[in-house]
Amino acid sequence: MAKSSPEMPKSPQDVIKMAKDQNLKVLDLKFIDFPGLWQHFSVPISALDEDAFKDGFGFDGSSIRGWQAINESDMLIIPDPETAIVDPFMETPTLSMVCNIQDPLTRSPYSRDPRSVARKAENYLKSTGLADIAYFGPEAEFFIFDDIRFDQDARSGYYYVDSVEGRWNTGRDEKPNLGYKLRHKEGYFPVPPSDALHDIRSEMMLTMIECGMNIEAHHHEVATGGQCEIDFRFSPLVSSADQLILYKYIVKNVAKKHGRTATFMPKPLFGDNGTGMHTHQSLWKGDKPLFAGAGYAGLSEMALHYIGGLLKHAPALLAITSPTTNSYKRLVPGFEAPVNLAYSQRNRSAAVRIPMYSNSPKAKRVEFRCPDPTCNPYLAFAAMMMAGLDGIQNKIDPGEPLDKNIYDLEPEELAKVPSTPGSLEEALNALKKDHAFLLKGDVFTEDVIETWISYKMNNEVKQVQLRPHPYEFALYYDA
C-alpha cells in the first residue's frame, strides 16, 4: 500500500507531485451529504492537473440526501489540496481528497453543502473582529460489535447486537468460554484480556496517524460489549470536522477488516452507557487564547458569555448536535448523560463543563457534552460556535454554576435547572423557533434550516412514530 507523507500536501502542485512520486492510479473525490455521511466517486489519476483544483468535476447532485431537485441537479465538486491523503483501505493506490461543492452556473459555494456552512462560519468569526480561530476537539465514542442484525416490516421488528466482551455472554458455550466479560458500566480502562479490543484500536490509531491525524490516546469506554474512544488533537473548525469524518471512516473500515462492525449510534445497548461526543472549544486571536481569565474556573468574561450562548440556544442546537431519534435514548434525565442546561468545572452531568486538567491559559476551553457522533460535524461545530458568538455579542449571563451533585439536589432545587429536549421532535421545534443566531453572516440560511427540519421530521421522526416498538408488545399485548 502506498504511504501518506508525514507532511501532508498543501498546494495543488504538492498533490500532483505526491500522486506522481507514489505512482497513484485513482483519484477519489469525497464530500459530505446533508445528514452527515461521506459520499464519493472516483476518476483516473490522469484527470488530476492544476485546473482540476479550479474547475473541478461535474456530477449529479439530485440523489444526494437533502440536496438539489432533479431539474437543477448539475453541480461541481472542487478538491481541497490540504486534505489529500493516500486512502489506507483501497487495493489500487488511491489519492483521496475532501471536496467543496459549487453551483456550476454562478460558481458560488452551494448553500446546502455542510462544508460550505462550516467555511462560512470561520469567515464570519474573522469578520466580527472578536477572534481569528475557533478550535474544536471532539471526543467521539463508538461501539465495536461482532455481529449486528436488524429488520422491520409490517409484522415484525427487531435488532440483535453481540460482542465477545458483552456481559450477557457469561453463560454462552464458546468452547471454551474464558469468562473475561466486562460488567455493565465497568468498561472504563480495564487491561486485556477483559479489554479484548486493544489491538484493533491500536491499528485504528496508527492508521489515523498514517493519514496525518494527531492522536493523543485510545482506551476502552464505560459500557460492556465493545465501547471505545480514540482522542485526536483539537484543530480549527473546518479541519476538525474533516478529521472527524476521516476518523469515522477509519474506525469502520479497520473494524470491517477484522470481521467486526463499528457504530456511532448514541444508544445501541439498553441498560449501559450511551455514546456521546463531548466537544471542546475555544476562541483565539493570533497567538492569544481568549478563554483564559480571572473568572469562575479560570475563565474570561468572553468565555462565560460564550457558555451563556451555548446554554440559551441549547434546545435548538441539539436538533443539529444530537440529531437522531436515538440520541434521546441517551439524553434521559436521571442517568449518566449530561442533560442539565448548566455549567460546572467538575459536574459531569452539566451540559457545559470546564476541564481543569491544566492551569495553562492555552488549555483553557469549554466542553459542550450533549452532542453525539451521529451529527454532521460541519453543521454541528458551526452551530455551536454561532451560539457562543451570540452569547459574546449579547453578553448573555450563563447564571450560577452547578457544582453540586445533581443527584443530591432537593426536588424543588432540581426543578430550577432546565433540561435538554426530551425528543428529536422537541429539539426540531426549538430550532424552528430559535435560529436567528445561525443566520448571521449568511452562515446558515433559512433554506438550510427549513430543509434540515423537514428532512429530519419526514424521514426520521415520523418514520419512527409510525412503527410499533418491540417493547410495546411486552407492555400492552394483553391489554
Catalytic residues: 60, 139, 141, 221, 229, 278, 348, 367, 369
Residues 6+ apart with CB under 8 A from 400: none
Q: Determine the Cα–Cα distance for residues 63 and 445; give it in Å rounded to an integer.
A: 21
- Is residue 473 exposed (0-12), middle (13-18) or buried (19+ Cβ within 10 Å)? exposed
User: DSSP code of 294?
Assistant: S
Peptide bond between residue 193 and the one before it cis (omega within 30 degrees of 0): yes
- Cell 461535474 belongs to 58
- Please check whether residue 213 is in contact with residue 232, taking contact to mean a CB–CB distance below 8 angstroms: yes
| Amino acid symbol at 422 | G
Residues 6+ apart with CB under 8 A from 247: 140, 208, 213, 230, 232
User: How would DSSP label each residue in 200-220?
Assistant: HHHHHHHHHHHTT--EEEEEE
> Three-state DSSP class for 289?
strand
> Three-state DSSP class for 403?
coil
Q: Determine the Cα–Cα distance for residues 382 and 113; give it in Å rounded to an integer.
A: 13
- Please check whether residue 461 is in contact with residue 325, taking contact to mean a CB–CB distance below 8 angstroms: yes
User: DSSP code of 59?
Assistant: E
Mutual angle of helices 114-128 and 377-393, in 10-degree steps: 20
Q: Determine the Cα–Cα distance for residues 110 and 120; give it in Å rounded to an integer.
A: 11
Peptide bond between residue 81 and the one before it cis (omega within 30 degrees of 0): no
Backbone angles phi, psi at 394, to 5 degrees: -105, 10
Backbone angles phi, psi at 167, to 5 degrees: -60, -25
